Amino acid sequence: MIKNLLIIIALVGMVIITIPLVREYQTPKVISGVAQDYVELSASKLNIPNTITAIVVTFRGLDTLGEVTVLFLATAGVGFLLKSKNTKKTKKRAGSEILKTGSAILTPMILVLGVYIFTHGHLTPGGGFQGGVVIASAFLLQIMAHEDFKFSHHLIHFTESISGFSYVMIGLAGLVILGFNHFLDPRWLELGKWGSLFSAGAVPIIYSLVGIKVGAEMSSLLNSLKEDGGDE
Amino acid sequence: MRDMIVISVLSLISIIAAIYAVKANKLVNAIVASGVISLIASIVFLMIGAPDVAMTEASIGSGLTTVIFLYALKQIKADKEDKND
């Protein structure tokens, strides 16, 4: 009783604190400061229609590299934690007929959608992270439908390492070709025609690598969770 | 104005889902309710003009996180059964 009362008092207090913020908030009509530069430079210097991608891959490229590293560490941690447990084989239930048939139709479509999302990251909304997770959901569908579905751990770790390595190498290529202060600068490749698939320098390549890496990481995460420890 | 009403209704649903997630007796229901919150958040992001964030929220927040929680719940249950044996 007294606990609920305290919770209600705390919630009401938070509402009272945030009321001035909400009341004074107005939707900004003009973009200002650094945002103005992002919008102008992504079109004029980088040739990228999707400003979000320009910010994520280029202006804040180091943050994206850090994010990918954090994701890798998290996946490695989960794999390590689950591996140390006893690997007792539990009996698994087979997926139903509807799930099996549906997954056979849907999996190729989902894979194509995922690849589309990360290769068109610089043109349309979406990018490496979203596309990678969509690809992982295709693998999830297979894992759920077929109780003995397996994919090679070595292959998936190899894919993940190669794409992460290539990402850093592309960043270093900017440093080598364009000179100092150009780490992760995609302009060492041709900028191409505005709005075409092969444009905006190395941005589509970087986002494809990020997509493959995230997809491989998420798939191996789901696989190690499902396998109850995994048998490498 | 119409957007405002829709966003308000969606926010109300997500608040109800949040309260339900805290109060639910079964953990499975709580996990599904938290997935509903992410789904509604992604719709709101789309309506206020942030499709990139909406895609992330829909795929990671309501898709993958829910599945990972469910798998984790299954593992916890398996552990408990091991101890009872």
Domain segments of chain B as ranges: 2-84
B71 within 8 A of A222, measured Cβ to Cβ:
yes
| SS3 (DSSP) at A186 | helix
- A167, pLDDT greater than 90: no
The answer to pTM > 0.90 is no
Q: Which two tokens stand for residue A129?
A: 């992270």
ipTM above 0.85 for this complex: no
Dump strand ranges (E) for chain B.
none
Choice between A88 and A184, residue whose per-residue pLDDT is larger: A184
Of all residues in chain A, what percent carry a pLDDT higher than 90? 9
A100-129, pLDDT tens digit by residue? 899 989 999 999 999 998 888 888 888 888
Q: What are the boundaries of each domain within chain A?
A: 2-226
Tell me which chain A residues have a C-beta less than 8 angstroms from the C-beta of B22: none
Closest CA in chain A for residue B60: A133
Structural domain B2-84, CATH architecture = Up-down Bundle (1.20)
Q: Can you give the pLDDT at residue A107?
A: 92
If you average pLDDT over residues B47-72, what whole number do you get? 88
Q: Can you give the pLDDT at residue A71?
A: 87
B25-54, pLDDT tens digit by residue? 888 999 999 999 999 999 999 988 888 889
* Helix-then-strand count for chain B, H and E: 4, 0
Length of chain A as a residue count = 232
Which sign does the torsion angle of CA A152, A154, A155, A156 carry?
A: positive
A220 within 8 A of A79, measured Cβ to Cβ:
yes
Cα A60–A62–A67 angle (5° rounding)? 100
- A10, pLDDT greater than 90: yes
Which residues, in sequence order, are CB contacts of B3 under 8 Å at separation 6+?
B47
Of A134, A136, A226, the CB nearest to B71: A226
| SS3 (DSSP) at A72 | helix
**Distance between first and last Cα of chain A:** 52
Cα–Cα distances in angstroms (integers) from residue A17 to residues A3, A10, A22, B14, in the given order = 21, 11, 10, 21
Confidence category of residue A229, pLDDT binned at 50, 70, 90:
very low
Cα B78–B34–A92 angle (5° rounding)? 30
Choice between A63 and B78, residue whose per-residue pLDDT is larger: A63
Q: Can you give the pLDDT at residue A87?
A: 55
Confidence category of residue B12, pLDDT binned at 50, 70, 90:
very high
Taking the Cβ of residue B19 and every Cβ of chain A, the question of whether any pair is shorter than 8 Å is answered with: no
State whether A90 and B55 contact (CB < 8 Å): no
Q: Which two tokens stand for residue A44?
A: 């004029």
Closest CA in chain B for residue A89: B78
Q: Can you give the pLDDT at residue A231?
A: 44
What is the spatial distance between Cα A166 and Cα A221, in angstroms, rounded to a whole number? 22
- A228, pLDDT greater than 70: no
Burial of residue B46 (CB within 10 Å: 0-12, 13-18, 19+) is middle
What is the spatial distance between Cα B3 and Cα A187, in angstroms, rounded to a whole number? 40
Q: Can you give the pLDDT at residue A23?
A: 85
Taking the Cβ of residue A136 and every Cβ of chain B, the question of whether any pair is shorter than 8 Å is answered with: yes
State whether B63 and A130 contact (CB < 8 Å): no
Choice between A229 and A18, residue whose per-residue pLDDT is larger: A18
If you average pLDDT over residues A50-65, what whole number do you get? 86
Which residues, in sequence order, are CB contacts of A157 under 8 Å at separation 6+?
A216, A220
Q: For chain A, give the mean pLDDT.
A: 83
Which residues, in sequence order, are CB contacts of A112 under 8 Å at separation 6+?
none
